[in-house]
Structure 1
């Protein structure tokens, strides 16, 4: 019996202490509880960048292949070699070599000899025909034989030209001056010339002029324009900032896992040759630079209307939504405090640096802009902490 009285007394004492603590907490913190936070717009310089990553490559880059199939028997140019236009890079053996050229040269020689005979024979037969010494049918046959001999010479000359070209194609030559940045074959390797032709070399014409191929998100591509300045870094020199210029923004899109991107080309100068092909570049393109812009924190654009309305009811403030309709693009809503009223206003947005956003029109510089709200009063959280157990206290 005595034990039960002690338990009841302890329970009553706990409730009394909790109640008094709550009312004391409420009394001492009521004026400190802030259900919303406001700021006045600030004036600041703001820069906006489009960030992406891409791959460096030589601006003028040539992939060298072969017009004939065969086996690589000699290699004359290796990686990093400086080459000149028409310099032989490698030699291929197609199993025939110069034999086709020699065979057709022989046939052409015979054809020319036959043509020469037909030319002389035609002149002799024509003289006889003019004197009426031979029949017309005989002269027609002589004329036909001469024409056939002439056409055969032309056909063999064409065949010789083809055979000579095929032979010349066994010697792979550089299409221009440049630097070999990739030798992609080895001695003795078989190469193909049809279907998926074998790549032999990649040659950069001028490594002092490079470009970065960048995939830009569809949400950002509208802000990119030719001529904009860009800055980038590479992993090899993380503390060095390089500069470039947007040269082109392509219209063709690329879709990967439902993400739409567009290719942009950034021109880069590389006078000291520190930058190398296929380096990954982290790029920042400046798309806006505003001086003395009227700005609000980005949090002001993320206020939940329903939560703010609950706070207005608690504080007995009026709650007025904007009558204007938000358009696509740069329009958005923000909330301001005017006396004991929450008012929603439509503003035109400008540049943003990820923390602050420029307000172009629609906002007074003295406005009290709501940037944060608290959905639950602190005394509610205190009670939840005191009575969080399934069975009440404890």
Structure 2
């Protein structure tokens, strides 16, 4: 019986040892690598904005009245000076006729004043002669002279009245002309806000009747660029953008203006960058949202590697031992070489650090300016296995073990 118990205990101890050896053994650590190669590195600044015509004119009216006729509609091409709407001209025509009548009346009053003045002048000259002969008294001559001077004043008043009535006539004729709405530019009607029979009032603010885009073959995008990126944006830089209507079609453009006025929204400072684009096929329409990428730097056929290689760090800390670009023995402790650190795999499947100096970068690639890396090297970008394999995936802490 005792022998059987001893054998059972030995088997239990052997099984427990094998289990703990199996559980405690670390799985093999593997790494994902990427190849160092040559290619273009393009740095961009991303922004969004809306398309609009370079010149958009809002056509209003300077007179109030009822819309009697419309000659254009949405998308109608128009020429400068073309009639696009008509306000009922009846009242304005009556005002013109009344102003002309007032002018004729003022001209007649002037002629009457001139005739009276001529008669008063003759009377005054006659009394002057009679006064010298002693036939009339001095008072008679003075009265005739006063009437003559009054008639001269009547002439000036009549002339002033003519100027006033001519101004009123000119105003009435201008209002009559303004009742006919004409296009101020060559372009395309992109909006219409009135209908026939609608009354428009221009007493305080000129109402907008039409919006005309001068030339839809030349458009622009007003984008908002963050203050952290605005220093890299310059006039003339190439731009690539897409719109939701053509998500797979990139459009080319150029930076035309970088405005200095800041736009502050909830303590976020941005600057308006105006991008001009050719639209010969009229695919782009006003108001479309554009996802813009402004090219702020380009390096062609340079040595490059993925940005993920710069972010990678081994889970067990930096391994010791020699590596490419390692500091020479005897260097003063605490001093570090310029540049950044990436990792290559050793023949023993261990990451070895390598110093590199980087240049232009974007979200996916970075230029290698100097260092021990060469074309074809495989740099580590991710740790896939091991005791701390969850570290790169956002996890932490040792693997969970079964409790007894």
TM-score in terms of structure 2 length: 0.73
Q: 1:144 aligns with which of 153, 172, 181?
A: 153
Contact 1:60 1:204 in 2 (8 A): yes
What SS does structure 1 have at the residue aligned with 2:91? coil
For the residue of structure 1 that corresponds to 2:341, the secondary structure is strand
For 1:345 and 1:115, how far apart are their aligned partners in 2?
Answer: 102
Cα deviation, residue 369, structure 1: 12
Q: Against the structure 1 CA distance between its residues 11 and 79, is the aligned structure 2 distance closer, same or farther, given a 3 Å change threshold?
A: farther
1:179 equivalent to 2:174? Answer no
Distance 1:131 1:38 in 2: 125
Q: Is 1:52 equivalent to 2:66 in the alignment?
A: no
2:97 corresponds, among 88, 97, 102, to 102
Distance 1:336 1:270, change over 3 A: closer
User: What is the deviation of 1:387?
Assistant: 2.4
Residue of structure 1 in register with 2:209 after alignment: 200
Deviations 1:149-176 (CA, angstroms, capped at 9, x unpaired): 1111101111111122122222211112
Q: Look up the match of 2:21.
A: 20
Q: Which residue of 2 aligns with 1:80?
A: 75
Deviation at 1:98, TM superposition (A): 1.9
CA contact (8 A) 2:354 2:372 kept: no
* Aligned twin of 1:328: none
Q: Is the 8 A contact 1:296 1:357 kept in 2?
A: yes
Tell me the CA shift for residue 112 of structure 1.
0.8
Deviates more, 1:242-251 or 1:13-22: 13-22
SS at structure 1 position matched to 2:235: coil
DSSP 3-state at the match of 2:107: helix
Determine whether 1:69 maps to 2:64: yes
1:258–1:194: structure 2 CA closer, same or farther, 3 Å change rule? farther
User: 1:241: which partner in 2?
Assistant: 250
- Contact 1:69 1:94 (8 Å CA) reproduced: no
Matched, 1:364 2:365: no
Contact kept, 8 Å, 2:343 with 2:380, in 1: the verdict is no
Structure 1 202/386 Cα, relative in aligned 2: closer, same or farther at 3 Å? closer
Question: 2:253 touches 2:276 (CA, 8 Å); kept in 1?
Answer: yes
Tell me whether 287-296 or 168-177 shows the greater mean CA deviation. 287-296
Question: Which residue of structure 2 lines up, in the alignment, with residue 123 of structure 1?
Answer: 118
Structure-2 residue corresponding to 1:156: 165
Report the Cα distance in structure 1 between the residues aligned to 2:116 and 2:156, rounded to whole angstroms.
12
1:89 matched to 2:95? The reply is: no
What runs of 5+ residues in structure 2 fail to find an aligned partner? 1-5, 129-140, 328-332, 345-351, 391-395
- Return the alpha-carbon distance in structure 2 between the equivalents of residues 16 and 102 of structure 1: 119
Q: Does 1:334 align with 2:340?
A: yes
1:296: how far off?
Answer: 4.8
Where do 5+ consecutive residues of structure 1 fail to align? 325-331
Answer whether contact 1:333 1:344 (CA < 8 A) is retained: no
Q: How many Å apart are 1:49 and its aligned residue?
A: 2.4
CA deviations on 1:285-325 (whole Å, 9 max, x unpaired) are 32211124354542355468xx98x825x85999976679x
Distance verdict in 2 for CA 1:239–1:380, change over 3 Å = closer
In the TM superposition, residue 254 of structure 1 has moved relative to its aligned partner by 2.7
Normalised TM-score (structure 1): 0.74
Task: Give the number of the structure whose alpha-carbon radius of gyration is greater.
Answer: 2
Q: 1:262 Cα shift?
A: 2.2
Q: Distance in 1 between matches of 2:397 and 2:185?
A: 81
The two structures, once aligned, show a CA RMSD in angstroms of 4.3
SS at match of 1:98: helix
| Alignment partners' CA distance in 1, 2:75 and 2:146 | 71
Inter-CA distance 385–371: structure 2 relative to 1 (3 Å threshold): closer
Deviation at 1:219, TM superposition (A): 2.9
CA distance in 1, matches of 2:146, 2:156: 15
Deviations 1:25-84 (A, max 9, x none): 24xx6xx558x9999976542112233333222222211111123322221111222222
Q: How many residues align?
A: 365
Say if 2:356 and 2:373, in contact at 8 Å, map to a contact too.
no
Q: Note if contact 1:210-1:268 (Cα within 8 Å) is conserved in structure 2.
A: yes
Q: 2:317 aligns with which of 311, 322, 325?
A: 311
Assess if the C-alpha contact under 8 Å between 1:191 and 1:197 holds in 2. no
Assess if the C-alpha contact under 8 Å between 1:182 and 1:202 holds in 2: yes
